[in-house]
Amino acid sequence: MATNTTPDTDPTPDDNQGLLHGNAVIEAGGSDEDGEFSASDFDPEDSSSLRSASTSISSSILEHSYQNGRRYHRYRHGRYPLPNDEAEQNREDMLHAMMLEATDGRLFYAPVRENPQRIADLGTGTGIWAIEIGEKYPSAEVLGLDLSPIQPTWVPPNVKFYVDDIEDEWLNGDDFDFVHLRNMIPILKSPVTLLKQVYANMKPGAWVELQDVDGQVHTDDNSIPDDWPLKRFTEIIPQAFALYETNAHAAVFGGQYLAEAGFVNIKHNFIKLPYGTWPKDKVMRLVGMYYRTACEEFFPAIGNLHFPQLGWGKDEMEVFFAECRQSMRDPKVHAYGKMHFWSGQKPLDA
């Protein structure tokens, strides 16, 4: 069966007017004033308070593993490379707030049919996307799956969370209208295998969307020095992910994975995420502040456990991470990452 692929899309009136979207060039001219945005721009208490209640999950699932001062999931221990403690949960929710700013409030780009009845969020994390999609479609049943039981109890009545390994055989039905994965493809050992399962458990005509950062640095004006610390970090991080037999830069292959799994009408959007507050536009500076902060918190989250396995000493690692943090505060370096949105449809005649 032939696979139709739609090229990178240009901004539309329903997008964010091209400020961060696709091939639009981000105009520089911002400063690095930490006081520009108030603490209320993102308050972790707004999200963590939802997670304060306990969940009715077996004690063996609720147990966690602690290493180097960070908490990790115990269920299928070692399967996921990042912590699941409150600091990481706040970072994840901040990334969600960043995405809403960067996309003008969009939760997805796929042309999902009106009134979807079953929606799955794979690797749901704190559950914030699942909750918001459940509020958007109150008549739909929304399932959020994750290895960690860190989701809130008080959620919309149409939203349910399950602790499960999404790479195992699915046991949640085969009639989904929309399946969503965010920041999951780079941590999957076999993205195509999972996407084939997604395909098998969807209705004909249903859509899947992959939302992933590419884990690289880009510039439109050649302003990134060859020895820029963050550039070096993005060259090292694939080695850490390789410890889990995954690909840190897999986001760019989303369309290929979807095609191999049998999806058609493949569409691609991407947005630019500034590393820092160097853009002139205030919305982009806010997005850059979110992304810089998320990166700063990502360094110890991924580094404390995995960099020592790559031969790094503690002092060497801390100095390097400090250099990376400082590098994102240089207004002369106009660097950004890319968030890719790949969507594909199960054929109507499947």
Q: What per-residue confidence (pLDDT) applies to 86?
A: 63
Confidence (pLDDT) at 210: 98
The answer to whether 341 touches 269, Cβ cutoff 8 Å, is: yes
DSSP summary character for residue 227: T
- Angstrom distances, CA of residue 51 to CA of 48, 144, 203, 215, 242: 5, 15, 32, 28, 32
What pLDDT, on a 0 to 100 scale, did the predictor assign at position 174? 82
Q: Rounded to whole angstroms, how far apart are CA atoms 153 and 347?
A: 36
pLDDT of residue 55: 36
Q: What is the pLDDT of residue 51?
A: 38
In this predicted structure, what is the pLDDT of residue 308?
Answer: 87
Closest to 87 (Cα-Cα) out of 98, 71, 74: 71
Task: Please give the domain boundaries of the chain with CATH numbers for all domains.
Answer: 5-345 (3.40.50.150)
Model pTM greater than 0.85? Answer: no
The one-letter amino acid code at 227 reads: D
pLDDT for residue 298: 82
Phi and psi at 14, nearest 5°, equal: -90, -5
Q: Supply 288's token pair.
A: 């850059």
pLDDT score recorded for residue 161 = 87
Give the pLDDT score at 125: 81
3-state SS string for 114-175 = CCCCEEEEECCCCCHHHHHHHHHCCCCEEEEEECCCCCCCCCCCCEEEEECCCCCCCCCCCC
Q: Which residues pair with 316 in a beta bridge?
A: none
DSSP class per residue in 23-81: TPPPPB-----TTSS-GGGS-HHHHHGGG-S-----HHHH-EEEETTEEEE-TTTTSSS
Q: Contact at 8 Å (CB) between 344 and 258?
A: yes
Q: Cβ distance 116 to 202 under 8 Å?
A: no
What pLDDT is attached to residue 35?
Answer: 62
What are residue 342's phi and psi, to 5 degrees? Answer: -110, 130
> In 3-state terms, what secondary structure has residue 108?
coil
Which parts of the chain sit beneath pLDDT 70? 1-22, 31-89, 148-152, 171
Q: Measured in Å, how far apart are the chain's first and last C-alpha atoms?
A: 11
**CA–CA dist 328, 345 (Å, integer):** 38
Q: Residue 305: which of 55, 141, 68 has the closest Cα?
A: 68
